[in-house]
Every structure is written in structure tokens, then in C-alpha cells.
Amino acid sequence: MPAQTSVGAGGLADRAPFDPDAAWAVHPQVAVRPEPFGALLYHFGTRRLSFLKDPRLLTAVRNLADHLSATDACRAAGIEPAEMRPYRDALAALAATHMIIERTGTDEPR
């Protein structure tokens, strides 16, 4: 088991602010399981469980790798720019817990 505890180590304060215009993807060790209320996300590496409470957020998260930016993925999921604030905060929370990660420049959209 890698040297990570199941409790989120490290503060959120030492992370770079979430950039919605960067390219993102679901972490390869994360399983996404849709549920009536949204979805469960489980990270096999950190053993952390997260809950998505919104169907459009779920769609955006699942399709992150298909878009050049998280903003685009949200737009494609039917989230209007004026609605973005809570979705941006949600994505930032997922980034802070390693549920989603930035794609490097060599990762092209699928």
C-alpha cells in the first residue's frame, strides 16, 4: 500500500487555486458509480469516498477527458455560465481530494 493514509493529508490551503479552464480528467484510480441522487466516487488509492449530488455535475465529471477545459465539459452538460459558481466549487473540491487531475499537454481529448 503506498504511503498514504485514508484521511486527506495536507491542507487545502497549499494547493494552487482550481483552474476551470485547464484540461481535467477523472483520476485513473477513481471508480464512478451513478446513484439516484447523483453518484458515488471512490478513490482506490486514497480510499476516500465522495458523493456527487447533482446529475449535471455527474455528466460533466464523467466527460471531463472529452473536453479541452472543465468549463467546456460543464457547458456540454447543460450548465449555464450563470450557474457555474457551485459547480466550480464542487470541481475544486474534487481536485483538492485528487478525485480529478489535470491533464498534461500530451493528453488530447478522446
Partner 1 sequence: MSLVSAVPTRPAGSARLVDHFQYGLDAPICLTWELTYACNLACVHCLSSSGRRDPRELTTAECKAVIDELERMQVFYVNIGGGEPTVRPDFWELVDYATAHHVGVKFSTNGVRITPEVARRLAASDYVDVQLSLDGATAEVNDAVRGQGSYDTVLRAMDNLAEAGFRGFKISVVATRHNIGQLDAFKELADRYGAQLRLTRLRPSGRGADVWDELHPTAEQQRELYDWLVEHGEQVLTGDSFFHLSAYGDPLPGLNLCGAGRVVCLIDPIGDVYACPFAIHDTFKAGNLRDEGGFARVWRESPLFQDLRRPQTGGACSQCSAFDACQGGCMAAKFFTGLPLDGPDPECVQGHGAGALSRTDRSGAPRPSQDHSHRGPVRGQPVLLGLPVRRADRPDRMCDESPLAGLEPQPAK
Instruction: Pick the stretch among 15-23, 28-36, 65-73, 102-110 that binds partner 1 (CB under 8 A).
Output: 28-36
Among 27, 71, 77, 87, binds partner 1 (CB under 8 A): 87
Is residue 86 involved in binding partner 1 (CB under 8 A)?
yes
How far apart, in Å, do the first and last CA atoms of the chain sit?
A: 31
Among 15, 66, 78, 89, binds partner 1 (CB under 8 A): 89
Dist. CA 19–CA 66, nearest whole Å: 17
CA–CA–CA angle 40, 60, 86 (5° rounding): 85
Is residue 2 involved in binding partner 1 (CB under 8 A)?
yes
Beta strand 24-26 pairing with 38-43: unpaired
> By rule CB under 8 A, what count of residues binds partner 1?
34
